[in-house]
Structure 1
């Protein structure tokens, strides 16, 4: 099991936990919309660091993005396994062809 899978399991285990005992539980208690908002904030921070070219700060912000993505997914009952399955389904398909198929 890799670090992302472990993190997803930890986040899942925080569902229904006391919001005073866990930052993740606190985020989840605020609802899916707030989780999505936090994900967006972190994504913007990562974009800023990418544009600046500071790899250490970008690495830190990217970790925050992954964490908040997993929280947002958990808030909507979408598992990391679901997302990985979708990526596997797309494997070997041209990005151009995949986007064209969405229309």
Structure 2
């Protein structure tokens, strides 16, 4: 099991945990919109670290982004396996060709 799979499973298990004792449960209890907002905040922090060239902070912020992405997905019942399957489907396809093939 990869660390991402383990983290996704932990987040899923926390859906039923006490929000008073689990940060993940607290986030999830606030709903998908709050989870999305928190993901956005973390993404902005990662962007700032990247533009400043702060490698250590970028590493930490990137970990936060991944965690909060998984929480946001869990809040909408989108399993990590679906995202990984989508990435696998796109593998070997030019990013330009993939974007052109998307439906508007």
| Shared fold per TM-score greater than 0.5 | yes
The 2-side partners of 1:81 and 1:102 are apart by 21
The 2-side partners of 1:48 and 1:69 are apart by 18
Q: CA deviation at 1:17?
A: 1.3
Match of 2:98 in 1: 98
Q: What pairs with 1:53-92 in structure 2 (closer than 5 Å)?
A: 53-92=53-92
The 2-side partners of 1:17 and 1:57 are apart by 30
Cα-to-partner distance string for 1:24-82 (whole Å, 9 max, x where unaligned)? 00000000000000000000000000000010000000000000000000000001100
Deviation beyond 6 Å, 4+ runs, structure 1: none
Q: What pairs with 1:21-60 in structure 2 (closer than 5 Å)?
A: 21-60=21-60
TM-score normalised over the length of structure 1: 0.98
Secondary structure of 1:15's match?
A: helix
Match of 2:16 in 1: 16
Q: CA deviation at 1:2?
A: 1.2
Secondary structure of 1:14's match?
A: helix
Structure 1 residues not aligned, in runs of 5+: none
